[in-house]
Every structure is written in structure tokens, then in C-alpha cells.
């Protein structure tokens, strides 16, 4: 009886491990969560109250997972008819120029905002070792051709909402001084920065408002009640969700739509919809 009980226990453990493995590999990486938040923006024109900003981040088009999932996700959230859409970097998992044609295929289904669509680059958009400018330029052109205004240390006003975009912190063109000194703090501003570590740098020149980031993927795997063990940031407090930075700035870190490795546990892929207030 003891042998039989032991065997049953081993079988139960093995079965649980198998189901968990299947879940983390085949279910959660493709189980999209649409997360809703309110976003308070100073100086917001009254006609923009109640409008929506959709954040899509880290789609990672490439060979590491079936990117039909990205197309299906785009088609799904397009039905929400967002007023603004912002993309916060890492459009590819770069291996070769093949990713450019793959990205073109996916971006045929680009989700666009009724009032404006903007994007920034991430580290993976700079190719190998985050150092290939031509990769970043080619990706920027694909995004532009898809109706996305690419902001590389620049800003643009879209129907009363000024969107500021910083180029990637790890890339070759991170020069926030090109734009931060030109930001008008009397307007309604929203800032995009792929890597959340940027919030700890001395580059802000008095900016107060929301910062939308990605990059971390929320760690992709997170033990319950614990910090994710793998986060590609210096400040390990920055994993996912909303942060009050205590000086008039607030940051939101999106958990990513795509993934570098096809595994997620307790960190579902995310597209975020903010209601402006």
C-alpha cells in the first residue's frame, strides 16, 4: 500500500508539472488581457475628457512564436475604436532582415487612433547589440508607412494632446535633451519612453505628467507575491503597472503583447486602454 500511495503521489506531481508546463508554454503567452485605467492629465482640453489612449508595447515580431497571434490581437482591439494609440517599442526580435518583411505583414493590421497614432523605438529595434542604426531607420520607415508618427527625441500635438517620444535608452540616439527643453508644461502632455530606467535619470527638466513604458514584459514569469526574478532593468522595483514617482510624474509599465521566449506564468500579455480625465 505504501508503494502504491507513493506511486500515485509521483503520478499526481508529474501530471501537475506537465499541465503547468503546457499552460506556461501554450496558454498564458497567448491569453491577452485588456487592462483599463484612468489617466489624469493636467491641462487636458475639456473636449478630450473621456477619450481613450491605447498602449501597445513589445510585439516582438520574429521567428520565436507564431505572429498570427499579434494580427489577431490587433484585429480584436481595433474594435474598441481608440481615440489615440501609442506604441512603446520593440517591434521585432531581430535576427536578420527577414524580420522587416514579417513586420510589414503584421503592420498591415496596425491599430490606429481616431485622433492620433504615435510610436517610439525600443532596444531590439536597433538590431544586434542595439547598435545597428540602419535597422532602426528601416523599422521607423515601416511604422511611418503604417500610419504611425515615429517620435525620436521629438514631440507632436494630436488634436490637443501633445505626445513626447524619447528614443531608446540602450540605442544609439538617446538624446532626451533634444526635446525635453522644448516641452510646454502648460499643455496636455504624455510621454513615451521604452525603458523605465530612464525615469531615474536627470533628463526631465521639470516635466510633470504620465510616462508610458514597456521593456520589462513584467518579467514574463512571476511567483505569486514575489518580484519577478528576471527583469532587464537596473531598478528592480520597475516590473509592471502604475507607479507614482512622487514628483508630479507617474509611470505605467505595460507587460507586453509579445514575448522573447514563449513562456509566461502569472504575467499575462497586455494591451492597456487609458481613459483621459
How does residue 230 score in pLDDT terms, banded at 50, 70 and 90? confident
What pLDDT is recorded for position 2?
57
* Residue written as grid cell 521604452: 194
Strands in 33-39's sheet, in edge-to-edge order, are: 33-39, 270-276, 52-56, 84-88, 116-120, 149-150
At residue 66, does pLDDT exceed 60?
Answer: yes
DSSP state of 225: T
What is the count of structural domains for the chain? 1
Q: What is the pLDDT of residues 130-145, one digit of tens each?
A: 999 999 999 999 999 9
* Residue written as grid cell 478630450: 48
How does residue 3 score in pLDDT terms, banded at 50, 70 and 90? low
What are the E-state strand segments in 7-66? 33-39, 52-56
Determine the average pLDDT of the residues in 64-78.
97
Of 197, 226, 200, nearest in space to 213 by CA? 197
What pLDDT is recorded for position 21?
74
Query: Is 20 among the domain residues?
Result: no
What pLDDT is recorded for position 272?
98
Candidate from 2-6, 30-34, 186-190, 191-195 with smallest mean pLDDT: 2-6
Query: Mean pLDDT for the chain?
Result: 93
Query: Is 15 among the domain residues?
Result: no
Query: Is 10 among the domain residues?
Result: no
What pLDDT is recorded for position 225?
80
How does residue 4 score in pLDDT terms, banded at 50, 70 and 90? low
Query: Is 108 among the domain residues?
Result: yes
What pLDDT is recorded for position 12?
44
Determine the average pLDDT of the residues in 66-87.
98
CA distance 189 to 43: 8
CATH code for the domain of 253:
3.60.21.10
Output 63 or 22, whichever has higher pLDDT.
63
Q: Domain range holding 171?
A: 31-276
What pLDDT is recorded for position 130?
97
Query: Is 88 among the domain residues?
Result: yes
Query: Is 12 among the domain residues?
Result: no
How does residue 152 score in pLDDT terms, banded at 50, 70 and 90? very high
CA distance 198 to 167: 11
Query: Is 35 among the domain residues?
Result: yes
Query: Is 5 among the domain residues?
Result: no
Q: What is the pLDDT of residues 8-61, one digit of tens each?
A: 444 444 456 566 678 998 899 999 999 999 999 999 999 999 999 999 999 999
Question: Rounded to a whole number, what is the distance in angstroms from the first to the last CA of the chain?
Answer: 66
Determine the average pLDDT of the residues in 239-255.
97
Amino acid at each position: 500500500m505504501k508503494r502504491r500511495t507513493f506511486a500515485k503521489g509521483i503520478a499526481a506531481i508529474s501530471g501537475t508539472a506537465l499541465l503547468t508546463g503546457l499552460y506556461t508554454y501554450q496558454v498564458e503567452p497567448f491569453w491577452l488581457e485588456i487592462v483599463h485605467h484612468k489617466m489624469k492629465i493636467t491641462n487636458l482640453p475639456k473636449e478630450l475628457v473621456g477619450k481613450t489612449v491605447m498602449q501597445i508595447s513589445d510585439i516582438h515580431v520574429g521567428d520565436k512564436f507564431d505572429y498570427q497571434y499579434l494580427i489577431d490581437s490587433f484585429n480584436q482591439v481595433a474594435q474598441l475604436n481608440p481615440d489615440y494609440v501609442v506604441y512603446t517599442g520593440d517591434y521585432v526580435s531581430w535576427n536578420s532582415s527577414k524580420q522587416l518583411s514579417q513586420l510589414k505583414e503584421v503592420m498591415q493590421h496596425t491599430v490606429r487612433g481616431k485622433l492620433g497614432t504615435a510610436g517610439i523605438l525600443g532596444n531590439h529595434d536597433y538590431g544586434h547589440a542595439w547598435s545597428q542604426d540602419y535597422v532602426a531607420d528601416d523599422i521607423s520607415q515601416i511604422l511611418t508607412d503604417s500610419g504611425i508618427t515615429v517620435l525620436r527625441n521629438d514631440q507632436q500635438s494630436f488634436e490637443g494632446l501633445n505626445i513626447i517620444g524619447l528614443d531608446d535608452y540602450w540605442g544609439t540616439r538617446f538624446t532626451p535633451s533634444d526635446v525635453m527643453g522644448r516641452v510646454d508644461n502648460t499643455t496636455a502632455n504624455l510621454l513615451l519612453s521604452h525603458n523605465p530606467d530612464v525615469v531615474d535619470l536627470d533628463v526631465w527638466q521639470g516635466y510633470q505628467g504620465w510616462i508610458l513604458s514597456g521593456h520589462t514584459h513584467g518579467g514574463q514569469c512571476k511567483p505569486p507575491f514575489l518580484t519577478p526574478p528576471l527583469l532587464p532593468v537596473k531598478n528592480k522595483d520597475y516590473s509592471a503597472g502604475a507607479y507614482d514617482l512622487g514628483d508630479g510624474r507617474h509611470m505605467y509599465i505595460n507587460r507586453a503583447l509579445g514575448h522573447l521566449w514563449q513562456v509566461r506564468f502569472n504575467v499575462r500579455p497586455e494591451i492597456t486602454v487609458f481613459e483621459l480625465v
